[in-house]
Amino acid sequence: MPHAPTTRAEYWDLYKPFRGEGRQPRPRADRFEWTQFPGHGPGAELLGQPRQALELGPAEGAEAVFLARRGVQVTAVDFSAFQVGRARTWWRDVTGLTFLHAEACGFLTATTTAYDAVYSVWGAVWFTDPDTLLPLVAARLDPEGVFAFSQAEAVTDVYGPQPMGGKWLAGRERELTVLRWQYTPAMWADILTRHGFRDIDAHVLAAPEAGATGTLMVRARGPLPSDAVGRR
């Protein structure tokens, strides 16, 4: 069994099972999935018709591939070197798609590209302080562009940054803490408004199975140029 991770990057390298060579099949990329239930909920239409899209935390890369195969220029940024390498191998035949190994905030700080869609599917938005991340997204998002993300619905009365458990963290809490930021839809709407985002729709999409965790779905327009501090 691989050693337990001691850095956040190592955690994401080991997050998915089947890390061994050849043990995990390439996923399908025939639908844009926002939830953990295939075929449940909306698809890529939430992003409108972007020409350039940025995905934060693509992991296996299926959603990025779905968009690229439909003519969107997609940049997909992931903190895990292993997952980036795997995605590059799986999808090397897909044009218009770039997988980059980088931390989301660092990439957004360094890039000068303006995107008309920035999105995250149970990805980096969940695991990054929104007060740090959202101004950076705002600065790189076209004012008429779409910022959208999904993650698990918040546990009632457990909000803000919360330590994440997992088999790789067992007994290692003092050496590594992985946080995820969870809020109610109303709280997310307030946070996004504070950072200048507009036309915000935040809600929980109920799971198709009784008793299963629902999915927080958030979609917003970018700030107007005068509100996007640091934009170009």
Q: Which CATH number fits domain 8-14+49-221: 3.40.50.12780, 3.10.350.10, 3.40.50.150, 3.40.50.720?
A: 3.40.50.150
Average pLDDT value for the chain: 88
Q: How does strand 160-163 pair with strand 179-182?
A: antiparallel
Domains of the chain, residue spans: 8-14+49-221
pLDDT score at 10:
59
pLDDT tens digit string along 64-121? 999 999 999 999 999 999 889 999 999 999 999 999 999 999 999 999 999 999 999 9
Instruction: State how beta strands 97-101 and 73-78 pair.
Output: parallel
Judged against a pLDDT cut of 80, whether residue 17 lies above it is answered with no
